[in-house]
Amino acid sequence: MDSTEHNPSRPLPLSKRLAQIIDETKDERLSFTDLAAKLQSRAWGGLLFIFAAINVLPLPPGTSVFFAIPLMIVSAQMVLGRSSPWFPARIDRRGVRKTELERLIAKIHGVEARIERVLKPRLASLTAPTATRIIGAVCFFLALLAAIPIPLFHIAPAAAILLFGLALIYRDGAVVIVAAGAAVLSLALNVLLVGSGVAVLNYLAAAWLHR
Protein backbone atom coordinates (compact mmCIF):
# COMPACT_ATOMS: atom_id res chain seq x y z
CA MET A 1 0.00 0.00 0.00
CA ASP A 2 1.20 3.52 -0.79
CA SER A 3 2.80 5.09 2.24
CA THR A 4 0.88 8.30 1.60
CA GLU A 5 -2.22 6.51 2.86
CA HIS A 6 -0.74 6.85 6.35
CA ASN A 7 0.39 10.46 5.91
CA PRO A 8 -2.32 12.76 7.30
CA SER A 9 -0.89 15.73 5.40
CA ARG A 10 -1.11 13.98 2.03
CA PRO A 11 -3.91 11.43 1.74
CA LEU A 12 -3.82 8.86 -1.03
CA PRO A 13 -5.62 10.19 -4.12
CA LEU A 14 -9.22 8.99 -4.26
CA SER A 15 -8.71 7.26 -7.62
CA LYS A 16 -5.84 5.19 -6.18
CA ARG A 17 -7.82 4.29 -3.06
CA LEU A 18 -10.75 3.22 -5.23
CA ALA A 19 -8.38 1.07 -7.28
CA GLN A 20 -7.19 -0.56 -4.05
CA ILE A 21 -10.79 -1.16 -2.99
CA ILE A 22 -11.50 -2.88 -6.32
CA ASP A 23 -8.46 -5.13 -5.84
CA GLU A 24 -9.46 -5.96 -2.24
CA THR A 25 -13.07 -6.80 -3.13
CA LYS A 26 -13.94 -10.30 -4.37
CA ASP A 27 -17.61 -9.63 -5.15
CA GLU A 28 -18.60 -7.76 -8.29
CA ARG A 29 -20.78 -5.34 -6.32
CA LEU A 30 -20.11 -3.35 -3.15
CA SER A 31 -22.85 -2.09 -0.90
CA PHE A 32 -22.64 1.61 -0.14
CA THR A 33 -22.00 0.72 3.51
CA ASP A 34 -18.99 -1.41 2.50
CA LEU A 35 -17.70 1.34 0.24
CA ALA A 36 -17.99 3.91 3.02
CA ALA A 37 -16.17 1.59 5.45
CA LYS A 38 -13.32 1.07 2.99
CA LEU A 39 -13.00 4.83 2.39
CA GLN A 40 -12.46 5.13 6.16
CA SER A 41 -11.92 8.73 7.33
CA ARG A 42 -12.68 10.03 3.85
CA ALA A 43 -16.11 8.40 3.65
CA TRP A 44 -18.15 11.61 3.69
CA GLY A 45 -16.04 13.48 1.16
CA GLY A 46 -15.50 10.37 -0.96
CA LEU A 47 -19.21 9.55 -1.17
CA LEU A 48 -20.11 13.15 -1.98
CA PHE A 49 -17.49 13.14 -4.71
CA ILE A 50 -18.54 9.79 -6.20
CA PHE A 51 -22.28 10.53 -6.26
CA ALA A 52 -21.75 14.09 -7.49
CA ALA A 53 -19.40 12.92 -10.26
CA ILE A 54 -22.26 10.83 -11.65
CA ASN A 55 -24.62 13.81 -11.48
CA VAL A 56 -22.21 16.12 -13.28
CA LEU A 57 -22.71 14.05 -16.44
CA PRO A 58 -25.68 14.84 -18.73
CA LEU A 59 -28.50 12.46 -17.74
CA PRO A 60 -31.70 11.38 -19.49
CA PRO A 61 -34.70 13.53 -18.48
CA GLY A 62 -36.21 12.43 -15.17
CA THR A 63 -33.27 10.29 -14.01
CA SER A 64 -31.55 13.08 -12.08
CA VAL A 65 -33.96 12.43 -9.18
CA PHE A 66 -32.70 8.85 -8.80
CA PHE A 67 -29.04 9.86 -8.79
CA ALA A 68 -29.64 12.77 -6.38
CA ILE A 69 -31.19 10.56 -3.69
CA PRO A 70 -27.86 9.14 -2.39
CA LEU A 71 -26.52 12.70 -2.18
CA MET A 72 -29.52 13.71 -0.07
CA ILE A 73 -29.03 10.70 2.22
CA VAL A 74 -25.32 11.38 2.75
CA SER A 75 -25.61 15.15 3.19
CA ALA A 76 -28.55 14.86 5.62
CA GLN A 77 -26.50 12.56 7.84
CA MET A 78 -23.60 15.00 7.74
CA VAL A 79 -25.96 17.65 9.14
CA LEU A 80 -26.94 15.26 11.93
CA GLY A 81 -23.27 14.68 12.77
CA ARG A 82 -23.31 10.89 12.30
CA SER A 83 -19.95 9.18 12.69
CA SER A 84 -20.49 6.95 9.64
CA PRO A 85 -22.93 6.87 6.72
CA TRP A 86 -26.08 4.73 6.78
CA PHE A 87 -28.23 3.73 3.80
CA PRO A 88 -31.71 2.20 3.55
CA ALA A 89 -31.42 -1.53 2.86
CA ARG A 90 -32.82 -1.37 -0.67
CA ILE A 91 -30.44 1.39 -1.78
CA ASP A 92 -27.55 -0.18 0.10
CA ARG A 93 -28.02 -3.53 -1.67
CA ARG A 94 -28.01 -1.78 -5.04
CA GLY A 95 -24.63 -0.33 -4.14
CA VAL A 96 -22.07 0.08 -6.87
CA ARG A 97 -20.47 -2.35 -9.29
CA LYS A 98 -16.70 -2.65 -9.56
CA THR A 99 -17.04 -1.85 -13.26
CA GLU A 100 -18.80 1.42 -12.36
CA LEU A 101 -15.94 2.34 -10.04
CA GLU A 102 -13.45 1.48 -12.78
CA ARG A 103 -15.22 3.84 -15.19
CA LEU A 104 -15.18 6.56 -12.54
CA ILE A 105 -11.46 6.05 -11.92
CA ALA A 106 -10.79 6.35 -15.66
CA LYS A 107 -12.69 9.65 -15.75
CA ILE A 108 -11.14 11.29 -12.69
CA HIS A 109 -7.58 9.93 -12.64
CA GLY A 110 -6.07 12.39 -15.10
CA VAL A 111 -7.79 15.43 -13.61
CA GLU A 112 -7.05 14.35 -10.05
CA ALA A 113 -3.37 13.84 -10.84
CA ARG A 114 -3.16 17.47 -11.97
CA ILE A 115 -5.15 19.11 -9.19
CA GLU A 116 -3.88 17.10 -6.22
CA ARG A 117 -0.60 19.04 -6.37
CA VAL A 118 -2.43 22.14 -5.17
CA LEU A 119 -4.76 20.42 -2.67
CA LYS A 120 -3.45 20.28 0.88
CA PRO A 121 -4.68 20.58 4.47
CA ARG A 122 -5.24 24.27 5.28
CA LEU A 123 -7.80 26.52 6.96
CA ALA A 124 -8.64 23.57 9.20
CA SER A 125 -11.69 25.24 10.77
CA LEU A 126 -13.50 25.07 7.40
CA THR A 127 -13.39 21.26 7.37
CA ALA A 128 -13.84 20.73 11.13
CA PRO A 129 -16.93 18.88 12.48
CA THR A 130 -19.07 22.02 12.83
CA ALA A 131 -18.14 23.19 9.35
CA THR A 132 -18.84 19.70 8.00
CA ARG A 133 -22.41 19.96 9.28
CA ILE A 134 -22.83 23.28 7.49
CA ILE A 135 -21.35 21.78 4.33
CA GLY A 136 -23.85 18.94 4.67
CA ALA A 137 -26.74 21.42 4.83
CA VAL A 138 -25.53 23.25 1.74
CA CYS A 139 -25.02 19.97 -0.12
CA PHE A 140 -28.51 18.79 0.85
CA PHE A 141 -30.00 21.95 -0.65
CA LEU A 142 -27.87 21.51 -3.78
CA ALA A 143 -28.96 17.86 -4.03
CA LEU A 144 -32.60 19.00 -3.92
CA LEU A 145 -31.85 21.33 -6.83
CA ALA A 146 -30.12 18.50 -8.69
CA ALA A 147 -33.23 16.35 -8.25
CA ILE A 148 -35.47 18.79 -10.12
CA PRO A 149 -36.37 17.03 -13.41
CA ILE A 150 -35.35 19.84 -15.75
CA PRO A 151 -32.77 18.98 -18.46
CA LEU A 152 -29.22 20.03 -17.45
CA PHE A 153 -30.55 21.53 -14.18
CA HIS A 154 -28.57 19.03 -12.10
CA ILE A 155 -25.11 19.72 -13.51
CA ALA A 156 -24.16 22.98 -11.75
CA PRO A 157 -25.35 21.93 -8.25
CA ALA A 158 -23.60 18.57 -8.63
CA ALA A 159 -20.38 20.31 -9.65
CA ALA A 160 -20.49 22.40 -6.46
CA ILE A 161 -21.08 19.26 -4.35
CA LEU A 162 -18.14 17.60 -6.10
CA LEU A 163 -15.92 20.48 -4.97
CA PHE A 164 -17.17 20.16 -1.38
CA GLY A 165 -16.32 16.45 -1.58
CA LEU A 166 -12.78 17.24 -2.70
CA ALA A 167 -12.43 19.76 0.12
CA LEU A 168 -13.35 17.13 2.72
CA ILE A 169 -11.15 14.43 1.17
CA TYR A 170 -8.06 16.65 1.26
CA ARG A 171 -9.15 18.72 4.33
CA ASP A 172 -8.62 21.82 2.20
CA GLY A 173 -10.52 24.82 3.54
CA ALA A 174 -9.54 26.91 0.51
CA VAL A 175 -11.54 24.52 -1.69
CA VAL A 176 -14.51 24.95 0.68
CA ILE A 177 -14.45 28.66 -0.17
CA VAL A 178 -14.29 27.88 -3.90
CA ALA A 179 -17.12 25.35 -3.51
CA ALA A 180 -19.26 27.91 -1.67
CA GLY A 181 -18.76 30.32 -4.56
CA ALA A 182 -19.68 27.55 -6.99
CA ALA A 183 -22.84 26.83 -4.98
CA VAL A 184 -23.95 30.46 -5.26
CA LEU A 185 -23.11 30.46 -8.96
CA SER A 186 -25.03 27.22 -9.53
CA LEU A 187 -28.11 28.76 -7.89
CA ALA A 188 -27.80 31.85 -10.07
CA LEU A 189 -27.37 29.74 -13.22
CA ASN A 190 -30.42 27.63 -12.42
CA VAL A 191 -32.52 30.71 -11.67
CA LEU A 192 -31.40 32.09 -15.04
CA LEU A 193 -32.22 28.78 -16.73
CA VAL A 194 -35.71 28.71 -15.22
CA GLY A 195 -36.27 32.39 -16.00
CA SER A 196 -35.21 31.88 -19.61
CA GLY A 197 -37.50 28.88 -19.93
CA VAL A 198 -40.46 30.82 -18.52
CA ALA A 199 -39.74 33.73 -20.87
CA VAL A 200 -39.65 31.42 -23.88
CA LEU A 201 -42.90 29.74 -22.86
CA ASN A 202 -44.58 33.13 -22.36
CA TYR A 203 -43.37 34.26 -25.78
CA LEU A 204 -44.64 31.11 -27.46
CA ALA A 205 -47.98 31.35 -25.63
CA ALA A 206 -48.39 35.00 -26.63
CA ALA A 207 -47.48 34.20 -30.23
CA TRP A 208 -50.00 31.36 -30.31
CA LEU A 209 -52.80 33.51 -28.83
CA HIS A 210 -52.24 36.30 -31.34
CA ARG A 211 -52.17 34.14 -34.45
- Per-residue pLDDT of 94-104, as tens digits, reads 888 888 888 88
Q: How many angstroms separate the CA atoms of 108 and 46, rounded? A: 13
Quote the pLDDT of residue 118.
Answer: 84
Tens digit of each residue's pLDDT (9 = 90 or more) over 28-64: 888 888 988 888 888 999 999 988 887 776 666 666 6
pLDDT digits (tens, 9 = 90+) for 123-176: 999 999 999 999 999 999 999 888 887 777 788 898 999 999 999 998 999 999
> What amino acid is encoded at 5 in this protein?
E
Note the pLDDT of residue 142.
93
Percent residues over pLDDT 70 in the chain: 82
Query: What local confidence, expressed as pLDDT, does residue 129 receive?
Result: 92
Q: Tell whether the model's pLDDT for residue 2 goes beyond 50.
A: no
Sequence-separated contacts (24+) of 57-60 with Cβ below 8 Å: 58/152, 58/155, 59/154
Domain ranges for the chain, please list them: 3-209
* β partners of residue 96: 30
